[in-house]
Amino acid sequence: STLNSFAALGRPVHRQVREYLQAVFKADTPFPDVLKNNEKLQKEALLPLNTVTNHVPLQIGDYTDFYAGRNHAYNVGVLFRGPDNALQPNYNHLPVGYHGRASSIVVSGTPIVRPTGQILTNPTATPKIPVFSPCKRLDIELEMAAFVSTSNELGHPVPIEEAEDHIFGLVLMNDWSARDIQAWEYVPLGPFNSKNFATTISPWVVLIDALEPFRAQGLEPGNRDSLLPYLREKRPDNAYDIKLEFDIRHNGLSKEDAPIHVSDSNTKNLLFSFPQMLTHHTITGCNLRTGDLLGS
């Protein structure tokens, strides 16, 4: 089973359940007979980690990936268009995003098959003739992603002051990207096969209330005057201070070898918050549903 039914109950219920579970697991729990003194339930509910098989936590109907990391967006823009045209004029005014493929979202640890597609072996050649080849520039994008909890009706946008209550929680996400396939296909409609072969997410959803102590200001305040009013939040600290690290272990390393450290980041590096992404997604009247996933 998945967490969709629980997510759809809404944030007040999520908060009550979280507080109750915290009380049950406290050393001085006020409910000792629920678990602490209940050996039978302990055997049924507390499982050794090495016996657990993880799954995608919710049934995902739709998946949208945003482009809210400005440093990342600039670097990718330089890769494809050069530094003078790296960021488009709209970038600082709205959360740029595209619709992804929900069917190929998999849980952490799932093997990924190297994609094959059309690539240009010599981008400077004239005429430009692609070849059919396995991807030679497989890349990762380290992200956080948000699950939608309660849905909105078609034709009814979610106001920015209500958007956070439509977010169930966050997961880690790896937006696998075939850069050579992407470079050839992305004009004029954006990435397609270069992104649709796999997206990895973590199995554990961290409820939005659990992240409240990590509130921080993002790249720019969430209430900045340069935003149109529908995106302007009441408070400047609309991001989270969550440190992210990326290490890689390739086939040439043994289990005893330390992985190779590649990158450090932080969710403070986002230009737009998840509530801003959700509000912008619905501003046309688009209806989001329980279990929809929003990448950052």
Q: What pLDDT, in 10s, does the model give residues 62-120?
A: 999 999 999 999 998 998 889 999 999 999 999 999 999 999 999 999 999 999 999 99
Residues ≥6 apart with Cβ < 8 Å to 145: 170, 171, 172, 173, 201, 293, 294, 295, 296
pLDDT-derived band of residue 249, with 50, 70 and 90 as boundaries?
confident
Is it the case that residue 256 has pLDDT exceeding 90?
Answer: no
Is it the case that residue 280 has pLDDT exceeding 90?
Answer: yes
- What's the pLDDT score for residue 254? 84
CA distances from 198 to 100, 102, 140, 146, 176 (A): 10, 9, 11, 17, 6
Q: Which amino acid is at 8?
A: A
Tokens for 160, please give them: 């920015």
Name the pTM for this structure.
0.94
Per mean pLDDT, which range of 78-87, 160-169, 285-294 is the poorest?
Answer: 78-87
Nearest of 204, 178, 207 to residue 108 by alpha carbon: 204
- What's the pLDDT score for residue 74? 93
Three-state secondary structure string covering 143-165:
EEEEEECCCCCCCCCCCHHHHHH
pLDDT-derived band of residue 250, with 50, 70 and 90 as boundaries?
confident
Mean confidence (pLDDT) of the chain: 96
CA distances from 75 to 85, 86, 252 (A): 11, 7, 29
Is it the case that residue 139 has pLDDT exceeding 90?
Answer: yes
- pLDDT, tens only, 171-200: 999 999 999 999 999 999 999 999 999 999
- What's the pLDDT score for residue 198? 98
Q: What is the mean pLDDT of residues 131-155?
A: 98
Q: What percent of the chain has pLDDT over 90?
A: 93
Q: What is the mean pLDDT of residues 209-238?
A: 95
> Does the annotation mark 72 as catalytic?
yes
Q: What is the mean pLDDT of residues 38-59?
A: 96
- What's the pLDDT score for residue 171? 99
What is the distance between the alpha carbons of residues 118 and 135, in angstroms, rounded to a whole number?
9
Tokens for 192, please give them: 């397609």
Catalytic residue among 14, 72, 93, 99: 72
Per mean pLDDT, which range of 108-117, 231-240, 253-262, 264-273 is the poorest?
Answer: 253-262
Is it the case that residue 51 has pLDDT exceeding 90?
Answer: yes
CATH number of 4-295: 3.90.850.10
Across 199-227, b (16+ Cβ under 10 Å) vs e yields bbbbeebbbbeebeeeeeebebbbeeeeb
